[in-house]
Chain A
Amino acid sequence: MADHKKEVVLLNGYPVELMRGGQGRPLLYLHSAAGEMTWMPFHDLLAAGHDVIAAAHPGFSNSEGLDRIDHMEDLVIHYLDLLDHLGVGQVDVVGLSLGGWLAAELASRNRERVRRLVLVDAAGLYLPGFDQFEFFQDPISNPGFPAEMRRRCFHDPNSEIARSFIPDQIPMDQILMALRARQATARVAWNPYFYNPKLKTRLYRVKAPTLILWGESDGLLPPDFARAYQALIPGSELKMLEKCGHMPPIERPEEFAKAVGEFLDRN
């Protein structure tokens, strides 16, 4: 395991929970709606060659300040403030799902700040005619919801990692954090549902070399979304991961980290 530390920094008067580990160029990891804030194997693999910075977005885990967030734009400002606070200038940005959407917004607005960009099974776009799954259900009113989420998020929903990442019953001591994550996600993704109508008209501005990395079995945001991103971001590359669902860092940490590392470290 690479050395990493967990800390809470005060930003604009609010606590922000932060994990940081590894050495090399700074890499900002933007987490998904699941709020993955324990140091996992994929963090470790990325930290082998990079200074990995992974913060909890406002309202997730032990980060506060959700009352200042009404739109994705507010999250962009929040992360620019955080980078300033940490003294990080140009940065590689890797974002998963909700975090991928945030990464795309960040790179299209502040294009000098992002050195290289990796969008992983990213939300943020709307595809006409595609009926997206209702993420904001709860296991009380729909007991089959966790199993359905597992099927959509993992290539192998019966694997140990899938079952522990999306359990049928959330352990009592994790319910509060799960409710917080759901609330913080809804703050920016309730309506329009996981997208920003303006984003597609701004992606042409992305200057950073971009990798679009996607699980080919993604049942939440299928590969059509990857191709839409590729068409909208000039010069972007697309790489599909086999036998992988919506959560590549969780389901295929080695393949994920290898693809990200090769792209970021390319001359």
Chain B
Amino acid sequence: MRIFQFHLMSWPFLPAAYDGPAWVWCPNELYDPKEGHKLYQEYLSQLEAAEDLGFDGVCVNEHHQNAYGNMPSPNLMAAVLARTTKRIKIAVIGNALPMYNPPVRIAEEYAMIDVMSGGRLIAGLVVGGGPEYFSYGINPTQARERFHEAHDLILQAWTQPGPTSFQGKYTQLRYMNIWPRPLQQPHPPVWIPGAGSLETIDWVAKMRYAYMGIPYFHIDVFRKTMDLFRQACQKYGYEASPEQMGFPLGIYVSDSDEQARREFEPHLWYFVRKLMKGLSLNPPGYTSPQSMMRMFLALNQFLPHVSTWEEVLAGRYMVVGSPETVLESVSDAIEKTMCGNMLFGFQIGSLPTALGSRSMELFARHVMPELRRRFGDRLSARTQGPALQGVR
């Protein structure tokens, strides 16, 4: 089992009086670059601390023109971390393929990060969230087609000796010949996040990539999704390796359950009621009309529709409490999903960074060692297929 720290880099200073969306139309005069400078220092320090605290890796992600996550370019963050860390994996759960044309730029930047970091990159390939299609003007009805074409281009750039040429519907390149090439061979491990659509699950299983769940759903939704993924792998004739599955989970640890709730609850509701507002924007054709209808029906198991503290904890939308409580809750969540990559988000909403860092330290000292004892062997990597050869 590998344990990652996941960072959103949220904007914690939306005024109490502001009740508009945090996405697309959130006025950017509410962003204060001087505060932003301080935040980037603190947030990057938290990611760097993961190495000393014994985590296996860190995750950064990509969102555009919003207050929810201030990392429009996760590659810039990964480039910083490639220099300031030495051991841990750097997972970029970003690079929304359809947003970039020609996507060869993604193949290049990922290769740069892989070479700079000495082969520590985990390459996320993502479709991008609904709001991103408003912010970047890309036609959402072409999202899936563009994603798959860009994926094929990037894999070709990484694995076929150049120069080669690529002729697609959206991108035509007569000369594709990236310098540098990735250090990990045949290419860095690929992670694909998904919200549970059957098409994506089937494709990730077929490609033998790793499938990451999307956070903030009820634990039962995750369990079902991960079971579907395991079944899809069996359909393609193999057992899913634990390292092919990832489970992102928000977490807060303090000295006691009461203290944890007192310190964390206001920041949780800031996150849910302010930053998640507008996140579920569904542009037309982003998924098929049939899938969109299914998603609308599942919305009551999505965190923004949860209104009480008890529901948050019972549904394992987030895990909060003393080290003992957190250990048992996380163990239960792992038992239910059996994912070999646990991606823990410590810095959530408007939580002061000192509290987020303390929570992470308590977790590393009192929870992580016991989690490794309980699940290390059962969730160890099994090398499977060519795509996982890059996993070291």
From residue A177, how far is it (CB to closest CB) to chain B in Å? Answer: 9
Q: B280, A186: Cβ atoms under 8 Å? A: no
In the assembled complex, the Cα of A176 lies from the Cα of B292 at a distance in Å of: 9
CB pair B280–A141 under 8 Å, yes or no, is: yes
Query: Is A179 engaged at the interface, CB distance under 8 Å to the other chain?
Result: yes
Question: Distance (Å) between the CB of A255 and the closest chain B CB?
Answer: 32
A141 touches B278 (CB 8 A): yes
The reply on B15 being an interface residue by CB < 8 A is no
Point out the residues of chain A lying under 8 angstroms from B285, CB to CB: 182-183, 186-187
Distance of B326 from chain A, by nearest CB (Å) = 33
Q: Is the CB–CB distance between A191 and B284 below 8 Å?
A: no
Q: Which residues of A contact B296 (CB under 8 A)?
A: 140
In the assembled complex, the Cα of A70 lies from the Cα of B134 at a distance in Å of: 18
- The interface stretch among B138-146, B189-197, B213-221, B356-364 is B138-146
Residue of A nearest to B137 (CB): A191
User: A182 and B284 in contact (CB under 8 A), knowing A176-B289, A191-B137?
Assistant: yes
Work out how many contacts link A and B, with CB atoms closer than 8 A.
52
B295 (CB) vs chain A CBs: closest residue: A140
| A138 and B281 in contact, given A183-B141, A187-B141, A190-B139 (Cβ under 8 angstroms) | yes
Contact A186 B293 (CB under 8 A): no
In the assembled complex, B207 has its CB within 8 A of some CB on chain A: no
Residues B138 and A140 in contact, CB atoms below 8 Å apart: no
CB within 8 Å for A136 and B138 given contacts A176-B293, A179-B292, A179-B293: no
Min CB–CB distance B38 → chain A (angstroms):
32
Count the A residues whose beta carbon is within 8 Å of the partner chain — how many? 18
Contact B139 A186 (CB under 8 A): yes
Would you list which residues of chain B between 271 and 330 have a CB under 8 Å from chain A?
278, 280-285, 289-290, 292-293, 296, 299
Question: Do A183 and B139 have beta carbons less than 8 Å apart?
Answer: no
Taking a contact as CB atoms under 8 Å apart, the answer to whether A191 and B139 are in contact is yes
A63 is an interface residue with CB less than 8 A from chain B: no
Is A210 part of the contact surface with B, judged by Cβ < 8 Å?
A: no
Chain A residues closer than 8 Å to B21, beta-carbon distance:
141
Q: A230 to B152, alpha carbons, bound, how many Å?
A: 47
* In the bound complex, CA of A187 to CA of B282 (Å): 15
Size class of the contact patch on chain B: 20 to 34
Cα A191 to Cα B141 with chains together (Å) = 11
Of residues 119 through 157 on chain A, the ones whose CB sits less than 8 Å from some CB of chain B are 136-138, 140-141
A179: B residues at CB distance < 8 A: 284, 289, 292-293
Secondary structure of the A contact surface, majority rule: helix
Does A77 make an interface contact (CB < 8 A)? no
Q: A176–B296 Cα gap in the complex (Å)?
A: 12
In the complex, which residues of chain B have a beta carbon less than 8 angstroms from the beta carbon of A183? 141, 284-285, 289
Q: Scan residues 180-195 of chain A and give those whose CB is less than 8 A from a CB of chain B.
A: 180, 182-183, 185-187, 190-191
A75 to chain B, nearest CB (A): 14
* Among A70, A136, A175, contact of B283 (Cβ-Cβ < 8 Å): A136
Q: How far is the CB of B279 from chain A (nearest CB, A)?
A: 9
Tell me the smallest distance from the CB of B211 to a CB of chain A, in Å: 26
Q: Is there contact, CB below 8 Å, between B292 and A187?
A: no
Among A66, A183, A185, A191, residue most surrounded by chain B Cβ atoms (within 10 Å) = A183
Q: Which residue of chain A has the shortest Cβ distance to B23 in the bound complex? A: A141
Inter-chain CA distance A127–B133, complex, in Å, is 23
B-to-A contact residues, CB < 8 Å: 21, 133-134, 137-142, 278, 280-285, 289-290, 292-293, 296, 299
Q: List 30 A-B contacts (CB under 8 A).
A: A66-B141, A70-B142, A136-B134, A136-B283, A136-B284, A137-B281, A140-B296, A140-B299, A141-B278, A141-B280, A141-B281, A141-B282, A175-B293, A176-B290, A176-B293, A179-B284, A179-B289, A179-B293, A180-B289, A182-B285, A183-B285, A185-B284, A186-B140, A187-B141, A187-B285, A190-B133, A190-B140, A190-B141, A190-B283, A191-B138
